[in-house]
Chains A and B, each alone.
Chain A
Amino acid sequence: MRRRPFVGAVALAAVVALSATACGSSGGGSSSGKETITIGFQGVLSGDNQQLGLNALYGIRTAVSEVNADASSPFELKLVESDDGGSPDQGPTAAQKLIDNSKVVAVVGPMFSGATKASEPAYTQAGLLSVSPSATNPSLTKLGFRTFYRVIAPDTVQGKAAADYLSDVLKARKVFSLDDKSDYGTGLSAALEAELKARGVALTHDGINPTKDYTSEATKIIAAAPDVLYYSGYYAELALLSKALKEKGFTGKIVSGDGSLDPQYVAQAGKAAAEGTYLTCPCGDANSDPNAAAFVASFKKVNNGAKPGTYSGEAYDATMALADVFKKLGKGADRESVLKAFGSVNLQGITKTVTFEPSGEVKGSNVFIYQVKNGSISVLGNTANLIRS
């Protein structure tokens, strides 16, 4: 799925224009007579890893358009977007933009762990519910953010499953664990390393801030001669790292996590350098899941033929869970009542059954393994099944 930013910009402009006219008409009494409920989206809509944000945004738009097309729905949803560029610096400003908009009763997002950690104090203070489709740092649910929920399993789950896969299926005896020093990367690498250590796998750890020049890091990795390199970070950097490793003739396997699970990884690394790379994710592949066929069709219709990507399904589920809560609350859903009711949501989503622990952690989740084959990313299966077979 390689979307042209230009088309994206046109789509964005169209949505802005449409919502502006919708706003104008509802100001003078909505023609459909339905109440309008506004939700916000905070995510990464610019920068190197923008594609992940677009994946989620399109998922939300799909949910919004389904709800609005449903004649039996007592309300219409309206979406307000706020771009944090995926960075902790811009997170609080992006959050404040949604908090200051008094119409917004709940938020889908933030997306990246670092930005979430920085934004969540503001949401908690404002009492505005935020449901992240993708922030997987384990500590996020332990920091006392009463407004934070996520529909994706934390990295402790992913890290452990990835470690099991590396040692049981890939038979790795020596692993080089590299992270990007972000909240996401360090959380994932810590979880991975804890499980590898417990299994007695030899381990080298290193961290490198996102950069363009991975040549000396590649030399370092090759000198350590690991069976597997596990990179905890995002696809733009993994692409450059893979290129550097291939250029230097690295013979081990490259494995990475959900932050790198995007076709952009293959596009930016080049097919040859990306070939064979394994990717782990606590997310299923909607495109190959028969139960999600209706979602995929609806997603393509709403988003000009784009296919769902990483986090699209989670963002869709988060939005649908919100819609479910709005339905139950009936008229007059406000920030306080939505926040109160959200913890007891129980909805069969397309990625999983959405129910929460009191901490805001989603109950039960599977970790899937993907691999780049012939230049495209295909799912190998659920970790538990792969290890058993």
Chain B
Amino acid sequence: MGFLDQFWQLSVDGLMVGSLYAVIALGYTLVYGVLQLINFAHSEVFMLGSFGGLFAARALLPGDGSVPGGAGSIALVAVGLGAGAACGGLAAFTLERVAYRPLRRRAAPRLAYLISAIGASLFAVNLAGKEFGRQNVDLPDLFHNGTVFRLFGAAVSTQTLVIFAVAVAMLVGLDRLVAGTRLGQGIRAVAQDADTAVLMGVNVERIIIVTFVVGGLLAGAGGFLYAMTFNASYSMGFVPGVKAFTAAVLGGIGNVRGAMLGGLLLGLVESYGGYLFQASYKDVIAFGVLVAILMIRPSGLLGERLGRAA
């Protein structure tokens, strides 16, 4: 079977995974835009959100293993997304308060943030391992999964559709938030020049915490979507975290639309590459593309600044 026969199927798969990368990547890019800080504990916010959504959905599922349908399915997915987002937001808020804010108050050097992030990440991973077990945890089916329609011969399943639609809705929502609201103006102002923003009456501390929480909400909801296909586990955050970071850098870190573009592109490249070569080379291909693009455009595809590009 040739690559061209499967091209559309691989594109559908790639866009689904890529939209998840994009959702997570936004958390990296927003925080970087505002603080010039890579929040390496973001992958654990994603993991905790995933468990939050999973447990909420499980608690509401009928215990007999039957798959709900219709309104029940919609409600379950909504609850899962909400719980995932809430847990992610809470985790991001706590992270900012515990791991970053004390450092900012003491005007600590950049390196201290990095160490603090790694420490918080290790703590969260092991806490989750202890509390939720070290086995993968399955999220039971929340709706009847099957092929909805075919796109040039490629089967698009309910699950793919749900994940892609929710992810895109979140991406568009965030783009509107940053570009068109007062809060977004504040975020952009702090990203452009924090000192001047203070002079103009922007509450920088508030903007920072809101930025973290918004990133956490997205990552948490994204974690729930991720668990639908790939199960949840205490160590699930690392690989998607690194991929999302790659996506953010690929698109231009600090740039909201860049993160979206980077995520989708990375998903597609991985999907094609995994089919053309061996699936195990997926990561090699993804990072190879990153290196290649950075050699030509060191500031990423769409350039760096949150303030300017959004």
Q: How large is the interface on B (under 10, 10 to 19, 20 to 34, 35 or more residues)?
A: 35 or more
A31 within 8 A of B: no
Q: Which of A50, A269, A270 sits near B134, CB closer than 8 Å? A: A50
Cβ-defined contact, A208 with B278, below 8 A = yes
Contacts A215-B17, A240-B231, A247-B229; is A268 near B280 (CB within 8 Å)? Answer: no
Binds A, one of B89-97, B135-143, B185-193, B214-222: B135-143
Within 8 Å CB of B229, what residues of A?
A: 215, 243-244, 247
Cβ-defined contact, A217 with B274, below 8 A = yes
Cβ-defined contact, A48 with B155, below 8 A = no
Q: B10: shortest Cβ distance to chain A, in Å? A: 6
How many inter-chain contacts with C-beta < 8 Å in the A-B complex? 105
B9 within 8 A of A: yes
Cβ-defined contact, B134 with A46, below 8 A = yes
A219 within 8 A of B: yes
Q: In the complex, what residue of chain B is closest to A214 when comparing beta carbons?
A: B279
Cβ-defined contact, A208 with B280, below 8 A = yes
A248 within 8 A of B: yes
Q: How many residues in A have their beta carbons less than 8 Å from beta carbons of B?
A: 42
Interface positions of A from 209 to 233, Cβ below 8 Å from B: 209, 211-217, 219-220, 223-224
Q: A227: shortest Cβ distance to chain B, in Å? A: 16
A247 to B67, CA, bound (A): 15
Cβ-defined contact, B134 with A216, below 8 A = no
Within 8 Å CB of B270, what residues of A?
A: 213, 216
Q: A156: shortest Cβ distance to chain B, in Å? A: 25
B6 within 8 A of A: yes
Contacts A215-B17, A239-B231, A249-B146; is A267 near B138 (CB within 8 Å)? Answer: yes
B282 within 8 A of A: yes
Within 8 Å CB of B275, what residues of A?
A: 216, 219-220
29 pairs from A and B in contact (CB 8 Å cutoff): A5-B134, A5-B135, A6-B133, A46-B134, A47-B134, A48-B136, A51-B135, A207-B278, A208-B280, A212-B236, A215-B13, A215-B16, A215-B17, A215-B229, A215-B271, A216-B279, A217-B274, A219-B9, A224-B1, A236-B136, A240-B230, A243-B229, A247-B160, A248-B155, A249-B155, A264-B135, A267-B138, A268-B135, A268-B137
Task: Using CB atoms and an 8 Å cutoff, list the residues of chain B in contact with chain A.
Answer: 1, 5-6, 9-10, 13, 16-17, 65, 67, 130, 133-138, 140-141, 145-147, 155, 157, 159-160, 229-231, 233, 236, 239, 270-271, 274-275, 278-280, 282
Q: Which 7 A-B pairs have the closest CB atoms?
A: A216-B274, A223-B1, A209-B280, A5-B133, A215-B13, A208-B279, A212-B230
